Structure 1
Amino acid sequence: MDAAVNTVNYNERFITKVVKEISSKFNFNVIQQRVLNDVLYKCTQNVEIIALEKEEGDFLTYIDIYANSMRLEGLAPGTIRNKCYSLKELNRYLEKDINKISVADLKMYILHKQSNCKQSTLNTIITTIKAFFSFLCDEGYIETNPSRKLKKVKEEKRLRKSLSDVTLEQVRLACNNKRDRALIEFAYSSGLRVSELAKLDIKDLDFSSNKLSVVGKGNKERNVMFSDIAKFYIKQYLDERTDNDPALFVSVKKPYKRIGKRAIEKRFTKIKDLLNMKELYPHLLRHTFATKLASTADITVVQKLLGHTNINTTMLYAEVNDDKVNYQYKASKL
């Protein structure tokens, strides 16, 4: 490895450690961390930082460097947290200098996780490991990429579950206040993720066009629509509110503050228990939205409204029934 690469490595290690320590001490948020990171990069632009003693391949330090890179790319904090958690689990299992990790070590870890993980979860772990080591190799932190030959496990392709019209109506009728009814209708007709629902403000909604703009996964902005029925219940709910909180959904009791992701999930759990249902969660309404829409709309429209980068992800949400297959085959006039 040449000297230029080592210089970049030690500069970045230094900056990462400083940002981590100062941010922890002064409780800096993500924006403040980015500003500090940029300032340190500028200050060390023409400075060569060297190590007085040889550093071993500290796995946790490399995870911090990788996390810092993901923050600069604009990945969601939750996504970064999950990836770092997976990598720290790998570190606890291997307990090796990162430069001495082999593909055999990684395969042993995958076999270890296979016993208590679903195939989809296992593939997420494999993707995280491959992305991490690829980053380290591309940036010159390690000479060879031990994850290069790792392969994903074969997944059983299953369509996502959705609610029937009857069950959805039962869920609607089980709402015992206007806030919950508005929440159910809006979640179903917009197909938003629960994290996106929790962040909504009243001003985000355009009632004249039944549209709104939302920033979803990967900090990507997309336009979303909602139904006239959802608008009706949202307006009913807003008309009865007496608070001045900008949030679209707030608590039903004082001090009427924005309800977060966990609070929304709890409301769904209460309705599930009331109806003695096997499962009911916010993402199930997103599946139902996709399934219903895909029965009439082009799959690319569903993809756009859901905010998926890969259309294969959308295909897992959208159940294509035999009637639609028969109709579209005949309509093609082959």
Structure 2
Amino acid sequence: MSCGVCYEADKRIQGFSPKTLKAYALQHKMLVLELGNLDVTEVTLTTLKEYLAKQAVRLKPNSLGHRIRFVRSLFRYAYEETYLTSNPSLKLREPKLDKRIPKFLIEEDVIHLKISCQSLRERALLEFLYSTGCRIGEVEKINAEDINWENCSVIVNGKGSKQREVYFTTECKVWLKKYLSSCTDSCKALFVACQLLDNGAPLDFIQGMLGHEKASTTQIYAQLRGERRRELYRRYF
């Protein structure tokens, strides 16, 4: 479709991550393969529903939802940029998702994970992930010099290049200091990326668990700022 290349360029200019851009490019490719040489102005709501109905046969509701969001985003762009006089995707609705009980770590799980660590690096990484709630991808971008040791905090770059301040415990600080004192390389990264990928099942388990917080808790925490956030963090830990 004629607007596809411009759409991808627009998202690149907006600063979307390479991973997101790659996902958008794949979604666009699949849409073009299905619709063929059909011009964007010839696409109707029925056309889109037929396309998505075929996808629904083999996709899980969550994946189908991603596809629908992409289609809506693409055609909203086409409409706003005047490729279209009306938006055929407006009435597309995402499938309802089953509500699942979120998984979480209990204190006993954490103790077992700490015991299973076989090096200072593993223990320091485990403590950092657990106390900050950071994603693996966020930890990869942190340099040792970024850490504010006085406040036990660090600024991390999250999804969509959004920054936030996270905090870690005194126990985590102790293990980070021990780990950094043992390092003999000159790499600036707090944890070398290739090492993160080689930590084994326990850390993968933690990564998965950290992504399942209660939505209500996350929304409340996201509204807190500065000293108030730090005060509540200290009280909690």
TM-score where L is the length of structure 2: 0.84
1:249-328 to 2 correspondences below 5 Å: 249-250=191-192, 259-260=193-194, 264-269=196-201, 271=202, 280=205, 282-287=207-212, 290=213, 299-303=218-222
Residue number among 3, 14, 19 corresponding to 1:73 in the alignment: 14
Q: Is the 8 A contact 2:141 2:157 kept in 1?
A: no
Deviation at 1:191, TM superposition (A): 0.9
SS at match of 1:212: strand
Deviation at 1:137, TM superposition (A): 0.8
Matched, 1:143 2:143: no
C-alpha separation in 2, matches of 1:223 and 1:246: 20
Decide whether aligned partners of structure 1 residues 116 and 227 sit closer, same or farther in structure 2, where only a CA change above 3 A counts: farther
C-alpha separation in 2, matches of 1:223 and 1:73: 23
Deviation at 1:281, TM superposition (A): 5.2
| Unmatched segments (≥5 aa) in structure 1 | 1-58, 251-258, 273-278, 306-334
The higher relative CO (CA closer than 8 Å, separation ≥ 6) is in 2
Whichever residue aligns with residue 107 of structure 1, its letter is K
Q: Deviations for 1:25-82, whole angstroms, at most 9, x for unmatched residues?
A: xxxxxxxxxxxxxxxxxxxxxxxxxxxxxxxxxx2x5222111111222222212221
Q: Is the 8 A contact 1:179 1:237 kept in 2?
A: yes
| Unmatched segments (≥5 aa) in structure 2 | 225-237
C-alpha separation in 2, matches of 1:266 and 1:67: 33
C-alpha separation in 2, matches of 1:284 and 1:177: 22
* Matched pairs, number: 222
Deviation at 1:159, TM superposition (A): 3.5
Decide whether aligned partners of structure 1 residues 82 and 212 sit closer, same or farther in structure 2, where only a CA change above 3 A counts: same
Q: Is the 8 A contact 2:139 2:156 kept in 1?
A: no
Q: Is the 8 A contact 1:188 1:286 kept in 2?
A: no
1:25-174 to 2 correspondences below 5 Å: 59=1, 62-95=3-36, 96-174=38-116
Q: Is the 8 A contact 1:192 1:286 kept in 2?
A: no
SS at match of 2:3: helix
- Runs in 1 of length 4+ with deviation above 3 angstroms? 298-305
Deviation at 1:160, TM superposition (A): 2.5
Partner in structure 2 of residue 324 of structure 1: none
Partner in structure 2 of residue 11 of structure 1: none
C-alpha separation in 1, matches of 2:206 and 2:50: 35
* Higher Cα Rg, which structure: 1
Deviation at 1:141, TM superposition (A): 1.7
The percent of aligned pairs where both chains have the same amino acid is 28
TM-score where L is the length of structure 1: 0.61
| Bigger mean CA deviation after superposition, 184-193 or 103-112 | 103-112
- C-alpha RMSD over aligned residues: 2.2
